[in-house]
Structure 1
Amino acid sequence: MHPRRSAQEVLLCDLCETVPLQSHCELCNINLCKACVGEHLSDTSKDHKVVPFLRRKATPNYPKCPDHADKQCEIYCEKCDIPVCSTCALFGKHKGHDVSNILEKLGAKTESLQKNLKELETRIYPRYEEMVSNVETEKAELERNYGKLTTDADKQGEILHREITAIVNQRKSAIAEMKTKHLDALNINTDEITQKMAELKQIMSDLKSILKSNDVSLTSTYKSRNSEFRTLPPKVRVTVPSLSAQKINKDQLNEMFGSLPPLSINTEHGDTMKSAEAVSSPPVKPLLDEPRVTATIDTRYYRLYSVSCLSEDQVWTCGENKTMKLLNLQSKLLTSIQTKSGYEPYDIAVTRDGDLVYTDEYKHTINLIKNKQIQTVITLQGWRPRYVCCTAANDLLVTMDSDDYKQYKVVRYSGSTEKQSIQFDDQGRPLYSSGGYAFHPSYSYKYSKYLSENKNLDICVADIRAVVVVNQSGKLRFRYTGHPSNTKQSFDPRGITTDSQSHILTADCGNHRIHILDQDGQFLRYIHCDLRCPYGLCVDIRDNLFVTECGTAKVKKIQYL
């Protein structure tokens, strides 16, 4: 029972907490009894508005202005993206800025929170419940199958009788051990899912509290984690072995009894659920006939290589020095971080949590930057990390070449654990060309092989003179070697990225343009936009394209959809 409610659910005064409430102050958003009204009104620093409780309105809990103690922030500054008071808007530091009705902003944000809560309650959490139920069913099936396996072992033991008693016991012991390990793996899987469910319950509870509080500050600062939980936890799948037996031969009893295959516990990638909006109405964005540059960022590097979006108006960049820079669209430096080793980073990527990852070819490391602290998560032996991207499942894909530059591969990591290595096709031939520098008449470029994961989970690599695309399992889908009609200019792919329409975009550096392909490798059109040696590419959540120009050290933001 609520500590401030009796068995009859009597609501009490917020001040004395002992007497039933009668009134409500709409300014302060508190409930009052008759005796406490006078005490509350004695504070003459505010224009209190006390009304009967049943006539109260749903008054927003406006934040106080940090510059004017007697004012509340009842206006929203569009430029600064914060609530402000009327004095600040008319005469203070927000004078001349575009402002809007804060209640409209609150309404839009509240609607977004309600959608988040609805998705968690009706779509995401039930899928977790379903996963737990499926694991429990599989555990019961595991019990039955292992019971049958044990029975088969007993029957075989009866046939061979006393001469194979010792072998029977050995096999039963092995079966019991495998069963225990399988059950342990499933129990661990259940615990992981249950832990996620507990987190979801807490998030749903917090969202309900925010929605109930009508608090602008809490509502405005809430950061949705729905995208994190759309990626369902990994599912452990176990394979029950079978018992193979042969005819009795006393000289080969141990072999004839039947052997057990190695224990098999496979963990599948957790499915990524589409958002409720994507499920209900997948957006279709046609290509613009004339793409246009909407912003240009001057990074002040000597040579500029990579760019990765943190948001629609903030990008991380790296170039020909040891410093990685976070810049806004006005070229303002927001943050800069130097590599741990003092060498220049080879490539950068932003994770789904908003952290920065960079590769260091000289130290053979892959590093994570969280809260400006650098942590080395992977150290390679015999291989040099090159380009990196973050996948929809929050894995890392890394291109790397051997120390002797004769081999190249793509490796998938979950945390610091290698999950997949992609190097050869079905005939055992290398999928990717060996390393080496590509040259331009003015200056040399780094090794190629930028990479990106497409929405259909294909892995797209900008190789030397070709874009190589494999599916999620690493099987070759196609190679794109440039527009078929162009026989005079060599295709020179560098940066590569993909968008919400599963388009593949690659920078044709030497020819100063970008190729747009569909997900099956069919050429759609070029983007020119006065580009000079386009190099690194990325797209933001609204499919705006960011392009680095290596020589000018500028990033161009391009609208092409």
Structure 2
Amino acid sequence: MTDKIELYEVVGCSPKKRRKEDGAVFPACKTYMYEETPSSHVQINPDGVLKLMHDVKVLSTIQTPYRGSFYLEELWKVNCVGINLIWIRGRDETLRLIDRNGSLLETVKTSYVVSAMTVNSNQEPVFLIGLSDRHVYIYRINKVEILLELTDWLARDLHYTVNGDLLLSMHTKDGVQSKVVRYTGTKQILEIQYDSTGQPLFGTKMGGMLNLTENGNGDICVAAFGCKSVTAVDTSGCLRFKFQGNCNHMKNTLFLPSNIATDVNNQILITDSSSNVVHIIDCDGNFVRYIEYPCNGGISIDIDHNLVIGDRTTGEIRFIKYLE
């Protein structure tokens, strides 16, 4: 029986061209081949925009090795890789690679709980551990290595851009100041902290998640949990907009953005820890709709433009078709 998901309607932005993921062999797991595909299963309209479906469809649901909150085995993050693989992390000292059936393919042990994770252009997981560790780690050729060593600031999240740069969101040790730093290799090339008036872009609230992603138009989008807002800046760090929830349709009075992703239409998808639903906004910060489904275990977009969300409570991952 297909699950029904309530949506609120609006329009999105026309995207600029962005690179598609290509098939590759994962170096640390040489037996797992990424399938080649001549084109996506979803046909993009001539103007480059996919249509939002009125009634979205749950394509499949899988159980991950995380059994859920009752067992203190919570799923926290999902990262789709190519067509059929997903890196996941949760409430333990482990990275796991699974396929779309939920089968476990690879396990990476770390010295502490993995606090953030992304995947680089070589399909290698890059991650942070703990809340006070000052290193960025990479898993390649079957071993964990240090990729970057930080000094005074503590990294909170990380994301690779289309051109291969690494974005890091950071807090000061007291959690009061926040910034985003862009690296090419190990060289810092851009620091984003203040707007044109000298005010902090990402707030001055104590701690909290500071998850980030890059949009197809080049914007850097940051979900600041402690400040209850999503901030978008352009490639040079200039403020484009702040989104603080949609007051007309808010299910709860609080907006607590946690995980964040973008899609082929340059729309921004935000998981809300307060209401446990996905907010979709366009590339200018205008509210588009909700997808009302448990999403507190991570969010990603697969190569066929499906929404992939994790449920922390059950450890399940759902694949949802919402574009056509």
Distance across 2 between alignment mates of 1:457 and 1:295: 31
**Aligned equivalent of 1:462, options 223, 243, 249:** 223
1:413 and 2:177 matched? no
Among all aligned residue pairs of Structure 1 and Structure 2, give the percentage whose two residues are the same amino acid.
32
Aligned to 1:288: 53
- Compared CA separation, residues 317 and 434, structure 1 to 2 (3 A): farther
Mapping of residues 367-378 of structure 1, within 5 Å? 367-378=137-148
Larger Rg: 1
Tell me if the contact between 1:489 and 1:511 (Cα under 8 Å) persists in the aligned partners.
no
SS in 1 for 2:298: strand
Distance across 1 between alignment mates of 2:177 and 2:248: 32
**Aligned equivalent of 1:545, options 278, 284, 307:** 307
Mapping of residues 407-556 of structure 1, within 5 Å? 407-434=177-204, 436=206, 447-464=208-225, 465-486=228-249, 488-528=252-292, 531-532=293-294, 534-556=296-318
Shift of 1:312: 2.5
Where structure 2 has 5 or more consecutive residues not aligned to the other structure, the ranges are: 1-32, 37-42, 67-72
Shift of 1:474: 0.5
Aligned-residue CA RMSD (Å) = 2.3
Tell me if the contact between 2:65 and 2:104 (Cα under 8 Å) persists in the aligned partners.
no
Distance across 1 between alignment mates of 2:35 and 2:278: 34
SS in 2 for 1:294: strand
SS in 1 for 2:52: coil
**Aligned equivalent of 1:356, options 90, 114, 125:** 125
Distance across 1 between alignment mates of 2:126 and 2:80: 12
Distance across 1 between alignment mates of 2:273 and 2:217: 26
Shift of 1:282: 5.4
> Quick one: which amino acid aligns to residue 482 of structure 1?
G
Shift of 1:525: 1.0
Aligned to 1:305: 76
> Quick one: which amino acid aligns to residue 204 of structure 2?
S
SS in 1 for 2:50: coil
1:314 and 2:75 matched? no
SS in 2 for 1:494: strand
Structure number with greater CO (CA < 8 Å, separation at least 6) is: 2
**Aligned equivalent of 1:386, options 134, 153, 156:** 156
Deviations 1:85-115, CA, capped at 9 Å, x for gaps: xxxxxxxxxxxxxxxxxxxxxxxxxxxxxxx
Distance across 2 between alignment mates of 1:490 and 1:353: 39
Deviations 1:239-294, CA, capped at 9 Å, x for gaps: xxxxxxxxxxxxxxxxxxxxxxxxxxxxxxxxxxxxxx99x955321011112222
Instruction: Please say which of residues 470-479 and 283-292 is displaced more in the overlay.
Output: 283-292
> Quick one: which amino acid aligns to residue 536 of structure 1?
G
Aligned to 2:115: 346
Tell me if the contact between 2:34 and 2:84 (Cα under 8 Å) persists in the aligned partners.
no
Distance across 1 between alignment mates of 2:200 and 2:313: 32
After superposing on structure 2, the runs of 4+ consecutive aligned residues of structure 1 that deviate more than 4 Å are 221-224
Tell me if the contact between 1:356 and 1:369 (Cα under 8 Å) persists in the aligned partners.
yes
Distance across 2 between alignment mates of 1:460 and 1:390: 13
**Aligned equivalent of 1:326, options 77, 97, 105:** 97
Matched residue count: 275
> Quick one: which amino acid aligns to residue 75 of structure 2?
L
> Quick one: which amino acid aligns to residue 222 of structure 2?
V
Normalized against structure 1, the TM-score is what? 0.47
Tell me if the contact between 1:425 and 1:431 (Cα under 8 Å) persists in the aligned partners.
yes
Distance across 2 between alignment mates of 1:411 and 1:386: 11
Mapping of residues 118-267 of structure 1, within 5 Å? none
Name the structure with the higher strand share. 2
SS in 1 for 2:55: coil
Distance across 2 between alignment mates of 1:490 and 1:372: 43
SS in 2 for 1:375: strand
SS in 2 for 1:288: strand
Shift of 1:297: 2.7
Shift of 1:533: 5.1
SS in 1 for 2:54: coil
Distance across 2 between alignment mates of 1:365 and 1:533: 28
Name the structure with the higher helix share. 1
Distance across 1 between alignment mates of 2:34 and 2:126: 25
Deviations 1:68-93, CA, capped at 9 Å, x for gaps: xxxxxxxxxxxxxxxxxxxxxxxxxx
Shift of 1:409: 0.7
Distance across 2 between alignment mates of 1:337 and 1:549: 22
SS in 1 for 2:274: helix
Aligned to 1:399: 169
Shift of 1:504: 0.6
Distance across 1 between alignment mates of 2:244 and 2:274: 14
SS in 1 for 2:105: strand
Deviations 1:120-141, CA, capped at 9 Å, x for gaps: xxxxxxxxxxxxxxxxxxxxxx
> Quick one: which amino acid aligns to residue 358 of structure 1?
F
Distance across 1 between alignment mates of 2:84 and 2:230: 29
Shift of 1:479: 0.6
Deviations 1:412-445, CA, capped at 9 Å, x for gaps: 11121111111111111111123546xxxxxxxx
- Compared CA separation, residues 451 and 551, structure 1 to 2 (3 A): same
Distance across 2 between alignment mates of 1:222 and 1:497: 22
- Compared CA separation, residues 402 and 560, structure 1 to 2 (3 A): same
SS in 2 for 1:346: strand
SS in 2 for 1:501: coil
Tell me if the contact between 2:80 and 2:87 (Cα under 8 Å) persists in the aligned partners.
yes
Distance across 2 between alignment mates of 1:309 and 1:371: 20
